[in-house]
Structure 1
Amino acid sequence: MNNISNKIKLRREQLNFSQEYIAEHLGISQPAYVKIEKGVTKLDFERLLKISEILEIDINELLEKQYIVNNFKNSDSSTAIGMVENLHQENQKTNELLIQTLFSQISDLKEENKRLISILEKLSSNK
């Protein structure tokens, strides 16, 4: 289970929301939602944003990594280095997901612009 999935599950439990409740608000089945909490399903930015709205939590809280220095006190340096490397890899994956989503949104906006320009051109030629 990844960090985002853990935070989603924890927040859902804090609010006493059932998995069925969240799944219903996402428009998916309860088994599909379970896969989100287990980290099996990769989340795109829009789905993550919807989950943050349902769970009444800022999306940045779901995305940010919180490590407390006390967690490292009893760890040897190799464990701490491994945790930092995992954090770096998770941040890279999150950034890649955000970039992919933004490129997709840019593409959709370009198509919408083309459609609107076409409508405007038709309207201006009818005058």
Structure 2
Amino acid sequence: METLDIGLNIKKIRELKNFTQEYMAEKLQMSQRGYSKIENGEVDISFTRIRDIAKILGLKPADIIGFDERFVLFSITHNQTGVENGIYINNELTNKERELYEKQIALLESQNKELKEMIDFLKNLQNRNS
């Protein structure tokens, strides 16, 4: 994987976490410009640096390296101080999970179609009574 790809992955994850470059730079004890160079792929990133960034983002280094935004799941967790957005990365779905998601999508599409038909029916009924 190229440095640019890792930098873009870091940027996407940082944005999903709603962290600023300034925040990341401060945590890494570096300048914002230096951190920006990481995200832009302008510098080689050591594994130690990736590990440090992963720790700040609450991930494993492998999650950054293998990040694919198509497999990002959002959740909201409650803690003592309120609500906190969580971002979990799941790079693989089992066949059973995929099958369940496909069934759920088909069911939702069917329900959506039925609701649209009901709306059209009610609109036609209203137009006749007008």
TM-score by length of 2: 0.48
Q: Which has the higher strand share?
A: 2
Larger CA Rg, structure 1 vs 2? 2
Q: Which has the higher helix share?
A: 1
